Amino acid sequence: MPRIAIILGCIALAVLPLLGASGYQLFQLTLVVTYAVAILGLNLVTGYNGQVSLGHGAFYAVGAYTTAILMDKFAVPYWATLPVAAVICAVFGFLIGLPALRLGGLYLALTTFALSVAVPQLLKYKLFDDYTGGVQGIVIDKPDAPFGLALNSDQWVYLFTLAVGIVCFVLIANLVKGRIGRAMIAIRDQPLAAEAMGIDIAMLKTYTFAVSAMITGIAGSLGAVAVQFVAPDAFGAPLSLTFFVGFVVGGGASIVGPIFGAIFVEFIPNIADQISKAAPGAVYGVLLIALMFVAPGGCASIVRKLAARMPWNRKTT
C-alpha cells in the first residue's frame, strides 16, 4: 500500500512544476522525462536482458525523424505520430535484433555502436533528402494545448510528455515483473539454465530488443516535439553514449534508475559548464567518477537501500 502512495506522491511531485516553473524550466523537465523514457528502453535490453547496446541513439533518431517527417510532410498531428514511431522503431529494432543478437556481449556492443555511427550519415543520404531535409534537418511547430485548456504550449508539452512517460514506465514495470521479465533476467544470469527451462533465448532476446527500441523510439518522438527540430548531427554516437551513461548512473535492472540517469545527463553537463569553461568535459568526468564511487550500483541502489530501511519494509527483511 505505501508503495502506491509513494508512486502517486512522485506523480504529484512531477505535475507540480506546472504551477510555478518557467517555460525554460519546463522545457528542461520535458527533456528529463524524454531521456528517462529513452534510458528506460536501454535499461530493458541492457539492464534486464544483459545485452549491451551502444546504439540506442539510432532508435531515438528514428523515432524523432518519424514524428518530424509525419508532422512536416504529411501534416499529421504530433500525438498521432507517437504510435507510428513506436511501430516503426519496434520493427526496426526487431530487424536489427535478428542478426545482431546472434552476437553476444562485446560484439553486440560494437555492432550497435556501428549503428549509432551510421545513422547520422544515412539521414544525410540524398535518396531520403526530400523527406529528411538533409543536413539542415526539419523544423516543426510546437503544439498548443487542446480542448481550450488554460496551459501554454510549454506546460502542455510537459504534461503530454509526462503522461506518455508514465504509461511507458508502468508498461515496462509490469513487463519485467511478470513471466517474460523473469525469463529476460534468467537469460541474462544463467542462459544455459534458461534454455533448459524451455525459454527460446534467441526469440526472446529479439523481442526484448524490439520492445526496447520501441520505448526509446517513443522517447525520440517526444524529444522531437519538445525541441521542435531534428537534424542528423543531433543523433550521433555521443547521444547513444549519453544514454549509456544515464543507464549506468541510474542503475541497471531498475525501474526508477532511468529517472535518476536522466536527471544526471540533463543537468550535470550544465553544472560542469558553470564550473569550468576551459574543460567542462574533464569536470563532467570527475563528477561521473565521484558518483560511481558514492553509488557503485547506480542511484537505484541507494534508493533500494533507503527503501529497505523504511518501517513498512523492515519486517520482511
Partner 1 sequence: MQRRTLLTAAAALTAPAIFRPAKAETLVGVTKTEIKIGHTVPYSGPASAYGAIGKGHVAFWNMINAQGGVNGRKVNFITLDDGYVPSKTVEQTRRMVEQDEVACIFNSLGTPAISAIQKYLHSKKVPCLFVATGADKWGDYEHFPWMMGWAPSYQTEAQVYAKHIAMTKPDAKVAVLYQNDDFGKDYPIGLKAVWGDKYSKFVVKELTYEVTDATIDSQASSLRDSGADTLISVCTPKFAAQMIRKVADLNWKPLHYLSNVSASAGSVINPAGAEKALGIITSSYGKDPTDPMWADDPGMNQWRAFMKAHLPDADLADSGYVFSYGVCLTLLQVLKQCGDNLSRENIMRQAANLKDVIIPTLIPGIILNTSPTNYHPMRQMHLTRWTGKSFTLFGDIIDTSH
Q: Give the residue, chosen from 180, 280, 291, 307, that forms a contact with partner 1 under the rule CB under 8 A.
A: 280
DSSP 55-96: -HHHHHHHHHHHHHHHHHHH---HHHHHHHHHHHHHHHHHHH
The span from the CA of 109 to the CA of 210, in Å, is 16
Nearer to partner 1, 160 or 209 (CB): 160
Name the CA radius of gyration of the chain, rounded.
20
Determine if 241 is a binding residue for partner 1 (CB under 8 A): no
Q: Give the residue, chosen from 70, 184, 231, 263, that forms a contact with partner 1 under the rule CB under 8 A.
A: 231
Q: Which residue has the cell 536501454?
A: 42
Sign of the torsion formed by the C-alpha atoms of 193, 199, 203 and 207: negative
Task: Kindly state the smallest distance separating residue 123's Cβ from partner 1, in Å.
Answer: 11
Residue 195 carries which DSSP code? H
Positions 105 through 124 that interact with partner 1 (CB under 8 A):
121, 124
Stretch binding partner 1 (CB under 8 A), from 20-28, 65-73, 163-171, 298-306 = 20-28
Q: Give the residue, chosen from 62, 214, 268, 272, that forms a contact with partner 1 under the rule CB under 8 A.
A: 272
Q: Give the residue, chosen from 284, 299, 300, 303, that forms a contact with partner 1 under the rule CB under 8 A.
A: 284
Task: Kindly state the smallest distance separating residue 8's Cβ from partner 1, in Å.
Answer: 30
The span from the CA of 118 to the CA of 43, in Å, is 22
Nearer to partner 1, 207 or 243 (CB): 243
Q: Give the residue, chosen from 19, 75, 106, 277, that forms a contact with partner 1 under the rule CB under 8 A.
A: 277
C-alpha dihedral over 131, 132, 134, 136, to 10 degrees? 120
Neighbours of 198 (CB within 10 A): 7
Residue pair 59/93 in contact by the 8 Å Cβ criterion: yes
Q: Give the residue, chosen from 7, 18, 28, 180, that forms a contact with partner 1 under the rule CB under 8 A.
A: 28
Per CB under 8 A, residues contacting partner 1 are 22-25, 27-28, 31, 121, 124-126, 134-137, 139, 223, 227-229, 231, 233-234, 236, 238-239, 269-270, 272-273, 277-278, 280-281, 284
